[in-house]
Structure 1
């Protein structure tokens, strides 16, 4: 048995943040009903690149293990159907612009009288207050406004965004945690409630010691490139054939690293005697280290440096990631059958929670389960046939 079997989730969210939260719940056994507005469904379906069958890899990345209900949310009947389904769900997730669900009759205050056990999760870009409710909630904006981009990059590059939607994905994980916390509370009280998070809250939380450095010391952190902002040498270093990451996390590790690099004389150099002065003189130290690292290939240095007890690893492109021995050991991918594409690989789950199978269905085609979802929630055959005939729902 999977941990969340029996939990029914109504997922009204789009793009990445909300779908990531619901996917995490689906991986643990929840029945996630992905409500997709007609005609196009989740807007991420229109974001390329596309597989040969026309399916978006953007959509594929965050929607496995779900059932798709394609419904015309612009119609009174479509909204009424979704409201009726919500009355029998344990969780509702939405990431509309603040205020939208109230106009749809799908806010917590709308649904709680009929379903007091509902856990209602709202995800926004910048919250529902006066300052944030009118701001567009996109990953890039949150990376910029949270301080993240101010510490990412170098003086030469200027501020850089992460190469992945880090704000969206991390907010999805935080939302999933908040939902589980509320479900745990509900198990004791029998009553659900509201939870909320935003891209801004999550990304500011993710700033960890960089944010605390300002709060505690008044120091505004700056861009350090690939270097660790508090410890050196720790970062990315050039070798004869590429780059390696080295994490020399304390004085003892530094001394061992200097020895394996043949830089023992630097241990008596006042410029590099402590972490504080190594940070001040890291340009010179990096030059000296990379002169030594240029003598061997990355694979050789990874073996040598790790044997000395210092964490050292490669910088892998995606093709190398999924061909690395760790990909199999950690189940970084899963294989599943898609209804139109056939067998395909999807990303693996980020945590193991038992031996029960976690991957049971591929990301759905639009409306793949529309009729089945309505039947499961008490709609008659005649109602389903009429909704299908009138285009209120679409069966994929």
Structure 2
């Protein structure tokens, strides 16, 4: 687990629910940071979120996003509980005083409240919109315009995605913000008040791809199902039902596709008859449907295994289509086939498919550790970080604070 050394000694307080904030904490925990997740007594609003284990009913979602973190529960409806959270967030130390939260409308956890206790505190607040309004990945995606780019030709209805892509990207923006602010604090002693709006993450990402400028110049982009925009790429079905995605981004890959499928001469005829330069992305994109029609019979006449063998031998850029159930079955049959995945015994659930950090240090993955039971580390953390003794902890228990 050499990957853990990268952020060894760093302490981050996480008070966040759903995906963006917890995914930031997970990423830092996998790199060795001590991430202390704070929840209200009984858990936050995402404690029971789907998917849940068919065996125990426990949330696979919660346990997956909170692996490797220490878990503290506090009665945050009380001043004493809030004071403990603030104390943990602003505890002394050069690698402490770092907070990631998505708490909206809680003035007691504002940057000003934190900075009053520790002027160099680094606080990262994740919000829905920059104006403080509520938003989640699926509302943000619709507003970004992406849902109107997705779907088959001729469809006018928006097509939602299932992957919370903006949440995950927002979480990594939070990690970047923490590390950048920590570097400045190490150099200058200054803290940082950082805010990241989920809607801003989505809008900036789409703008950075040039899609809004394209729309302003050309109008709405045509929908075309699984075809790759601006180049050649589409899915093909083999005769036994296997399906693969084939992509061409370079002249070498174009030549390899013609070699693998024996269609190079037919592509030459297509180029002559249309005047299209099929050695370019533009030429192939313009003739994408004709190219697909030439290739489809070759795939349909072969099994998936024959298709994969021929494409690999020629050096074609391709990938298989698999359901999540197929990925799980492949992992069970060949545990090393996806090296970032790892089997893990999660208390309260049993064996689960987990993952290392995708960041490898010196060629090694970080490994995976289970999530702690909700509140399992409360007394230990309060003792270690705030110096509370057994008498003080017993009083907090009696008062319903912990």
- Tell me by how many angstroms 1:314 deviates: 0.9
Aligned to 2:76: 73
Q: Match for residue 269 of structure 2? A: 268
Flag the 1:314–1:339 CA change in 2: closer, same or farther, 3 A. closer
SS of residue paired to 2:6: coil
Question: Superposed, which structure 2 residues align to 1:45-84 within 5 Å?
Answer: 45-51=47-53, 52-84=55-87
> After superposition, what is the alpha-carbon deviation per residue over 1:84-107, rounded to whole angstroms, capped at 9, x for unaligned?
11121431011123xx23x2x221
Q: Classify 1:374/1:337 alpha carbon distance in 2 versus 1 (closer, same or farther; 3 Å).
A: farther
**Secondary structure, aligned partner of 2:376:** coil
Query: Which of these residues, 268, 288, 293, is aligned with residue 287 of structure 1?
Result: 293
Return 323-332 or 152-161, whichever deviates more: 323-332
Aligned to 1:91: 98
What is the deviation of 1:50?
A: 2.4
Q: What CA distance in whole angstroms lies between the structure 2 residues aligned with 1:56 and 1:355?
A: 32
Aligned partner of 2:356 among 344, 348, 363: 348
Give the deviation of 1:215 after TM superposition: 7.3
Query: For residue 236 of structure 1, what is the aligned residue in structure 2?
Result: 235
Which whole-Å CA distance do the structure 2 matches of 1:9 and 1:76 have between them? 22
* Paired residues for 1:7-46 under 5 Å: 7-39=10-42, 41-46=43-48
What corresponds to 1:225 in structure 2?
A: 225
Instruction: Tell me if the contact between 1:257 and 1:310 (Cα under 8 Å) persists in the aligned partners.
Output: yes
Shift of 1:78: 0.9
Which residue of 2 is the match for residue 382 of structure 1? 391
Counterpart residue number, 1:178:
177
Match of 1:303 in 2: 309
- The alpha carbon displacement at 1:203 in A equals 2.1
Once residues 293 and 381 of structure 2 are traced to their aligned partners in structure 1, the CA distance between those partners, rounded to angstroms, is 62
Rounded to whole Å, the distance in 2 between the matches of 1:342 and 1:53 is 9
Give 1:169's aligned residue: 168
Aligned counterparts, 1:68-147, within 5 A: 68-88=71-91, 89-97=96-104, 100-101=105-106, 103=107, 105-127=108-130, 129=131, 133-134=132-133, 136-147=134-145
What is the SS of the residue equivalent to 2:387?
coil
Report the CA distance between 1:210 and its aligned residue: 4.7
Say if 2:342 is the partner of 1:334. Answer: yes
Deviation at 1:357, TM superposition (A): 7.9
Unaligned runs of 5+ in 2: none
Which of 297, 315, 321 pairs up with 2:321?
315
Give the structure-1-normalised TM-score: 0.88
- Check conservation: 1:204, 1:211, Cα contact below 8 A: no
Structure 1: which 5+ residue stretches go unaligned? none
Q: Distance in 2 between matches of 1:8 and 1:46?
A: 26
TM-score, normalization: structure 2? 0.86
